[in-house]
Amino acid sequence: MENIRARRPAEAFRAAQAVLAGTAAALGIEPGEGTLGGHTLPPGDRD
């Protein structure tokens, strides 16, 4: 994971979001901006 984060931070960010979404689903938590950082842009995607 560290190699991916260093070379492709946006991809690592999205992978981490996917893990968090799966965890939220397993716990019965409704995903949203407040719980998963949906309002946050991945590194390198900023204007």
DSSP track, 6-46: HH-HHHHHHHHHHHHHHHHHHHTPPP-HHHH-TTPPPTT--
Where do the structural domains in the chain lie, given as residue ranges?
1-29
Give the model's pLDDT for residue 47: 47
Tens of pLDDT, residue by residue over 1-47, are 566 667 788 888 888 888 988 888 898 887 666 655 555 666 666 54
Return d(Cα 29, Cα 41) in angstroms, integer: 22
What's the pLDDT score for residue 41?
60
- Give the integer Cα–Cα distance in Å for 40 and 21: 14
